[in-house]
Structure 1
Amino acid sequence: MEFSEIRKITIKRPNHLRVEALQSDGDKSLLIFDGKTITLFNASENVYSQTDYPGDVDAAIRYSVAKMGIRVPLARMLLSTFPSEIQKLSTNIDYEEHDILGTAPTDHIVGQTKDIDYQVWIAKDMLPKRIVITYKKAPKQPQFRGDFSDWNSAPKISDDTFIFTPPKGAEKIPTFLPVTESDITNKTHGGVR
């Protein structure tokens, strides 16, 4: 089973992030971090939620994935610490070949960590053009494939890019996260989440 998604990611360090996503089923979503608030918007349902979280892009990504349960493909690659983290986590890295079949020639690198096998195709400009990740410890070893395009390492980005203005009729909801058994237990016992 294979699903597709197109993402446009805009980062203005130290504390601005915008991720626009379009899924193969037509669902559109948006994540905006403005240095103070993480906003999630689902266009299909016209709902959004906001969470106060001051900090930088790295902290917001880690919080969004670990605490909020937001799916952010290749989140680790968005961190400023990615180069040192991938070196530390990799148990094996090999040069596979010089690949001439893509839109531009690339160097094909393969690597392994404890949990994944990965392949990355890197162009002459030192930016990745493609990545394949195999989750070797997961049932049936699923894969993630990503193709990168339209890199711009020196964009002119307006701060307005990171302002969320709810569309007409959009409903603000407390969270996109599913209700858990402990939420129900806390609620029935007067607990506060």
Structure 2
Amino acid sequence: MNRAPPRALIRMSATAVSAALLAVAASCGARADDSASLLKAMTEYTAAQKSITATFDSDVEIITPDLQKIQFTSSGQLRMARPDKLRIRRTGGYADVDLAYDGKTVSLYGNNAKAYVQADAPGTIDQLVDTIQAKTNAALPGIDLLLSNSFDVLTSDVIEGYHIGQGVVDGVECEHLAFRGRDTDWQIWIQAGAQPIPRKYVITSKTVAGAPQYTLRIKDWKTEAIADADAFAFKPPEGATKVGLDSDVMVEFDEVPAGTTSGAKK
């Protein structure tokens, strides 16, 4: 027969939980001062790398009108050569997209739509990202980790930050940092040691009911020079059609189905 727990036990449990919460809060407060220095070390490390290749998995959440949370998953590859070469391929259940930038022209190909868009964009990767975000309002979550001024961009809206402690991502020991902003909160797991590589990045939207998140997990990080001369050259596949940014087929380039609303943005 089930019996109600003694009142004394309930009080003791509540006290233990309260003590644990206070201990966590005190621990976070003690580590608050070094969250910025750990983040700064990561951004300086990534900015100093002339070449970066990596693979990634990403999850984006949306909230339906009846408040159901749905998650969409994709994977991809990144190749970057500073200051002006970038290639990102992302494949998911609803998108198969290839972005190529050779320092002069940016090309975006959607394999599902068998269509591509192109634009002249002479300059650097940083300038390209600024242009894309200004003209298309695209969030491009995760790209801010690789900009030359990444620290300034990441902390531009930060109200407070904490060094939560240690964590393990894909078997790698990491420093776990958490930051609060006005519209979004975000967390990052940075590989511990001499190579402070970003391993996991989570953005939580606070302005959307249900607080949807965007999660990025980075793997296979390498900094060797990219030997492939055509790594950043875009050649339209046979049968592909060139379209404008205002074309209806652009919906096929998104990683969530048409008619849904993206969740976390930063």
TM over 0.5: yes
Q: Taking structure 1 as the reference length, what is the TM-score of the superposition?
A: 0.83
Match of 2:238 in 1: 168
Which residue number corresponds to residue 34 of structure 1? 102
Distance 2:100 2:74 in 1: 18
Q: Which residue of the partner structure matches residue 19 of structure 1? A: 88
* 2:157 is aligned with 1:89: yes
**TM-score when scaled to structure 2?**
0.62
**1:112 alignment partner, one of 171, 176, 180:** 180
Matches for 1:1-193 after TM superposition, within 5 Å? 1-25=70-94, 27-70=95-138, 72-100=140-168, 102-124=170-192, 125-175=195-245
Over 3 Å counting, the alpha-carbon distance change for 1:70 and 1:39 in structure 2 is farther
Kindly state the Cα deviation for residue 140 of structure 1 after the two structures are TM-superposed.
2.6
Tell me the CA shift for residue 176 of structure 1: 5.4
Q: Deviations over 1:68-101 (max 9, x none)?
A: 3445222322321111332343221111122247
Among all aligned residue pairs of Structure 1 and Structure 2, give the percentage whose two residues are the same amino acid.
26
Considering Cα pairs closer than 8 Å and 6+ residues apart, tell me whether 1 or 2 has the greater RCO: 2
Equivalenced residue count is 178
Q: In the alignment, is the contact (CA less than 8 A) between 1:12 and 1:157 conserved in 2? A: no
Gap change, CA 1:160 and 1:137, over 3 Å in 2: same
Residue 167 of structure 1: CA displacement? 1.0
Structure 1 CA distance for aligned equivalents of residues 109 and 139 of structure 2: 13
Residue 61 of structure 2 corresponds to which residue in structure 1?
A: none
What corresponds to 1:185 in structure 2?
none
SS in 2 for 1:66: helix
Shift of 1:157: 3.9
**2:142–2:201 CA contact under 8 A, matched in 1:** no
